[in-house]
Amino acid sequence: MALEDLTGTKYIDSLVATNPVGSTDPVSDVDGHLQGIKNTLLKTFPSVTGAVTATHTELNQCDGVVLVSEDATQTLTAKTLTSPTINTPTITSPSITSSSFSANRSTTTQSITTATWTKVKFTTEEWDTNSDFAHDAADTDAGGVLSRFTPTIAGKYSFTLSTTLVGAFTGTSWSFVVALYKNGSAVRQQYENPISTSVNVTNTFSTLIEANGTTDYFEMYVYQGDGSNRNINTADGSLITYFQAHWVET
């Protein structure tokens, strides 16, 4: 019988498994049959130019999978992932740069000598995030235990200073000054004058100052020129006599 036509563009599915029929097909048809088989293989696998080493199992795993270039986008529909491995990301907490303290004088009266710069000493520390506010070894006043802020983080700091002198003044023409000292010298000052000889006078101000984070230290000083020694008000000391600072930026 005649063989199937395997010339031209033919593929493996064009082969007929029962051909040739040995009992009826002449031997002269063998050449055409072999050439047809070669043709269908070359047409079916036109890009195979080397050995294919994948096993039948590996090839079967590719069934239904569309290979795309690495820069292409593919939408996977109804695909099943078998035991995928998900790596847990490592999250590192950010480093927080900050330093802050607040102290007040709520116990034990401190006397401010007239016409003398006097360092204010604080009895209560409300917070101190870096343990930078501490006792000055040179202080001998038993009523004050904390007075010096030595920031350990370099940068610009916001300071707030406040205190009140108790009334019964000799006059109203003198100055009441609160100053921020840096390394033993005044760098900011705020002046006030009493409005009455019998009314307490309060002096409060805020300022920005830079610190090197190592040797710079800060203290609060008071000056009054009433002519007589005056006391810092401790009756409401936690509300009106305080020293605060916090880091703002580098």
Average pLDDT, the chain: 85
Q: What is the DSSP string of 59-109?
A: HHHTTTPPP--TT------S----S---PPPP-PPPPPP--EEEEE--SS-
Which range has the worst mean pLDDT, 95-99, 165-169, 205-209, 222-226? Answer: 95-99
- pLDDT tens digit string along 145-167? 789 999 999 999 999 999 999 98
Beta-carbon contacts of residue 122 (< 8 Å; ≥ 6 apart):
103, 104, 105, 144, 145, 146, 147, 241, 242, 243
Per domain, the residue ranges of the chain are 12-61, 100-249
Q: For domain 100-249, which architecture applies?
A: Sandwich (2.60)
Q: What is the dihedral of CA 47, 48, 52, 54, to 10 degrees?
A: 20
Q: How confident is the model at residue 70 (pLDDT cuts 50, 70, 90)?
A: low
> Where residue 58 falls among pLDDT bands split at 50, 70, 90?
confident
Number of residues that this document lists for the chain: 250
Residue 157 to residue 114: CA distance in whole angstroms: 30
What's the CA gap between 113 and 230, in Å, rounded? 7
- Answer for the pair 170, 220: CB distance below 8 angstroms, yes or no: no
Q: What sign has the CA pseudo-torsion 74, 75, 77, 79?
A: positive
Q: What is the pLDDT of residues 168-198, one digit of tens each?
A: 888 888 999 999 999 999 999 999 988 888 8
Q: Which amino acid is at 58?
A: E
Q: Round to whole Å and give the CA distance between 215 and 163.
A: 27
Q: What is the pTM of this model?
A: 0.62
